[in-house]
Homo-oligomer: A and B are copies of this chain.
Amino acid sequence: MNKEELFKEFEKYKKMGLHIDMTRGKPSSEQLDLSMPLLDALSSKSNLTSKEGLDCRNYGCLTGLKECKELFASILDVSPENIIVYGNSSLNIMYECLSDAFLYGVCGSTPWSKLKKVKWLCPVPGYDRHFAMCEHLGIEMINVPMGDDGPDMDLVEELVKDPDVKGIWCVPKYSNPTGITYSDEVVRRFARLKPVAKDFRIYWDNAYALHDLYDDGDKLLEIFSETKKYNNEDLIYEFTSTSKISFPGAGVAALAVSSNNFKDIQSHLGYKTIGYDKINQLRHVNYYKDFNGVKRVAQLQASILRPKFKLIEDVLEKELKGIANWTKPNGGYFISLFVPGQAKEIIEKCKECGVTLTASGCAYPYHKDNDNSHIRIAPSYLSMEELKTAIVILCLSVKLLK
């Protein structure tokens, strides 16, 4: 199509009065339907006594049910003793860890609220809610470019020489939003990282541990077994949840940490709550039974997501080959499209047709995409039809602005 034809085509869509919202990576109703039997996993007829003899209906059990720890341990390939099971949100666990660090310090360090400055490493593009949390807490964020195999580790190793640098966000598998998985070498370099700040922690947000689109998904090297080789286990806080396997917002979230970190975190936990929702923990354990049960549902999720990713990749391949670059993830929730110097304008152009994409810069600290290049595509929530329309309009917008 020449520019005039592109323009005509665009005008056609504009007149359709569309309202397509692709801003967030929410599961679709069809995906949520998969987990409806979870609601039958406990009833008034159920035995609500835990493996260890606890009445799950009553108070107590601060760090979570043993059987739920075992389930998460199998998902993360760590030991159940290293797991704390929380409530419904892994984002909330991350916040708790940061908030503890500000109020009490980390394993005996000076509380961060008493420090002049706290800096944080942010691989970019990254997860908007991670960056927003840092910004809200007044943490100074430092960008680290992402490659195909993870963050620029030369730069990370250089930056952790600064004692003000206290942590880094990592989504090591199917990274939000590029969808890449950290290479073994990158994981190993993280595992042997020796930051100057003793209270530096790697926030290892393994949100997409089981979110492969294909049977032969990416393999992420398990980081704790690597840190052990360097006596460096205290470096890692690993987060995960069932949010995108069972129900977002009504799932169960967990933290995996070394025994030192476990003790440190537990020393604050008992002042915050008497315990998290053990009935929901038990509900998930009863429903999934074991790792294979979780895996089975994750595969069903993938069967719904796969055609959506494929559709997008096909349209991008057909329309934008040689014009723009994009990532081709094997799992996770997002695809990144790179259109240097034009992201903002293209997103605005889409909006003219009623297609809302996440605001430009959303995947960067302080919403600043200096290259004005990144567009986050979220395939999950829309129907195939809406998705196709949205991506066709996106491609049209890219080409119109070329």
Contact = CB atoms under 8 A, between A and B. Distances in A.
Interface of A: 24, 26-27, 29, 32, 35-40, 42-44, 46, 55-61, 87-89, 91-92, 95, 99, 102-103, 111, 113-114, 129, 132-133, 136-137, 243, 247-250, 268, 271-280
A88 to B, nearest CB: 5
A249 B275 contact: yes
Contacts of A280: 250, 277, 280
Name the residue among A35, A58, A60, A113 with the largest chain B CB count within 10 angstroms.
Answer: A58
A218 to B, nearest CB: 25
Contacts of A87: 87-88, 276-277
Given A26-B59, A29-B55, 10 more contacts: A58-B249, A59-B248, A87-B277, A88-B273, A89-B273, A91-B272, A95-B272, A102-B102, A136-B268, A280-B280
Contacts of A24: 59
A99 B136 CA distance: 14
A57 B35 contact: yes
Contact of A32 (B39, B57, B132): B57
Given A26-B58, A32-B58, A40 B43 contact: yes
A277 B248 contact: no
A103 to B, nearest CB: 6
A92 B32 contact: no
Contacts of A26: 58-60
B250 A274 contact: no
Contacts of A88: 87, 273, 276-277
Nearest to A251: B277
A399 to B, nearest CB: 33
A262 B109 CA distance: 33
A273 B92 contact: yes
A247 B279 contact: yes
B274 A91 contact: yes
A326 to B, nearest CB: 25
Nearest to A24: B59
Contacts of A59: 24, 26, 243, 248-249
The listed residue with most B CB atoms (<10 A of its CB), out of A32, A56, A57, A91, is A57
B136 A247 contact: no
Contacts of A91: 272-274
A400 to B, nearest CB: 33
Contacts of A57: 32, 35, 247-250
A57 B246 CA distance: 9
User: Lowest 4 CB-CB distances: which A-B pairs, in order?
Assistant: A113-B113, A250-B279, A36-B44, A32-B57
A101 to B, nearest CB: 11
A385 to B, nearest CB: 19
A271 B131 CA distance: 10
Nearest to A96: B272
